[in-house]
């Protein structure tokens, strides 16, 4: 009598093998579906970029027609430039730095304050200024985090 397992025992995978098969199959599925995330990200960012260029051209055209440049117009153009810069940063590094949307929000709040400061309630103005202060602190902290992350990478190398 031999010590080799019978054919029925050879065909039954162990519980560990079954778990590994499930995990590996999920990884295969994840790899297959990952391209949809990448394509949709890049497509939507390209559309956002094109629409931002169209919106900035429209803003410039409105400035030319009005023959007047106001501070809110300049803030709006800065917002467009920052959005285009954020898209460019994504295409070059495949990630969006968290500080860029924060800076865009700060610029948008500044534009809002400049546009509505005369009719604005003092409490609302203080709240918006406080929001700018909080966002500025968040951007500063995020830049420190990025700096420390870069230093850690350099130390590892």
How large is the average pLDDT for residues 77-87? 93
d(CA 149, CA 76): 32
Q: What is the pLDDT of residues 14-43, one digit of tens each?
A: 777 776 666 666 666 666 777 788 888 889
Domain range list for the chain: 17-151
Q: What is the mean pLDDT of residues 108-118?
A: 86
Quote the pLDDT of residue 145.
80
For 5-61, the DSSP string reads PPHHHHHS--HHHHHHHHHHHHHHHHHHHHHHHHHHHHHHHHHHHHHHHHHHHHHHH
Mean of the per-residue pLDDT values of the chain: 83
Query: What pLDDT band is residue 153 in, cutting at 50, 70 and 90?
Result: low
Question: Is 114 a residue whose pLDDT tops 90?
Answer: no
Tell me what pLDDT residue 137 has: 95
| pLDDT tens-digit readout, 35-47 | 788 888 889 999 9
Tell me the pLDDT band of 82, cut-offs 50, 70 and 90: very high
pLDDT at 127 over 60: yes
């Amino acid at each position: 009598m031999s010590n080799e397992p019978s054919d029925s025992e050879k065909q039954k995978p162990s519980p560990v093998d079954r778990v590994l098969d499930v995990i590996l199959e999920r990884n295969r599925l994840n790899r297959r579906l990952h391209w949809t995330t990448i394509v949709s990200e890049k497509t939507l960012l390209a559309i956002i970029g094109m629409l931002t260029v169209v919106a900035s051209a429209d803003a410039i055209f409105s400035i030319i027609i009005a023959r007047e440049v106001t501070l809110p117009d300049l803030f709006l153009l800065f917002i467009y430039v920052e959005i285009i810069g954020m898209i460019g940063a994504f295409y070059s590094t495949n990630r969006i730095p968290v500080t860029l949307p924060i800076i865009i929000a700060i610029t948008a709040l500044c534009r809002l304050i400049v546009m509505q400061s005369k009719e604005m309630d003092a409490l609302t103005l203080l709240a918006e200024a406080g929001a700018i202060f909080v966002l500025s602190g968040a951007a500063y902290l995020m830049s420190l985090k990025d700096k420390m992350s870069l230093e850690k990478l350099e130390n590892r190398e």
